[in-house]
Amino acid sequence: MSFALFSQFEAPAEARPESRQSARLGARTLSAMLVAVVLVSAVAGYAFTTGAESVRAVQAAGPELTRLLRAMALLKCLLAVGALFLVTVRFRFPIAPRLAAAYIAAGAAMAAGPGPIWTMAHVGLGALLLHGGLAAMLLLAWADGGATWRLAPWRRA
């Protein structure tokens, strides 16, 4: 699926040589793997808590705190979707298989976080998963340097 709006994120032909470090899997395959792992992880994160545990946690927290934390969980889902979109953009460029696997693992951790926050039984674990996954993605993006050629025209000599 290709959108004209996002064509600016496509790597030019000269920037996409097949090398020993580039992934053997294409961008669509990597993106499909990311989506599948994220969906399974999100469902597992939500299903991790039993109904009775969740009911007790909601009653202990009260309605105001429950609404606040659930609203924050929804906002964090939006943050995660944005980060995962950027990872799919990154997959359009040559990438080492280990790095792609690390991005997918970080996405899985980040996607598992909002479920425990929503159920209110394991808010700390959910926050750790979500923020840990996001921090891992940021560190991977910082250390990656895979698309630095796009910044080349703006660099000063």
pLDDT for residue 146 is more than 90: no
Provide the residue range defining the domain that includes 125: 32-142
For the segment 68-78, what is each residue's pLDDT rounded down to a tens digit? 989 998 998 89
**What is the rounded distance in angstroms from the CA atom of residue 28 to the CA atom of residue 78?**
22
**What is the rounded distance in angstroms from the CA atom of residue 150 to the CA atom of residue 154?**
9
Q: Which two tokens stand for residue 30?
A: 């990597």
**What is the rounded distance in angstroms from the CA atom of residue 36 to the CA atom of residue 10?**
23
In a domain, 22, yes or no: no
Q: Which residue has the tokens 């969740």?
A: 54
* pLDDT (average), residues 27-39: 92
Q: Is 79 exposed, middle or buried (0-12, 13-18, 19+ CB in 10 A)?
A: middle
Our count of domains for the chain comes to 1
Q: Is 91 exposed, middle or buried (0-12, 13-18, 19+ CB in 10 A)?
A: buried
For the segment 101-137, what is each residue's pLDDT rounded down to a tens digit? 999 999 999 999 998 988 888 899 999 999 999 999 9
First CA to last CA across the chain, in angstroms? 38
**What is the rounded distance in angstroms from the CA atom of residue 45 to the CA atom of residue 113?**
6
How many other CB atoms are found less than 10 A from the CB of residue 126? 26
Rounded to two decimals, the pTM is: 0.74
In a domain, 87, yes or no: yes
In 91-122, which residue ranges form alpha helices assigned H by DSSP? 97-112, 114-119
CA 97 to chain CA centroid, Å, is 17
In a domain, 96, yes or no: yes
- Confirm if 100 and 25 have CB atoms less than 8 A apart: yes
In a domain, 71, yes or no: yes
In a domain, 102, yes or no: yes
In a domain, 10, yes or no: no
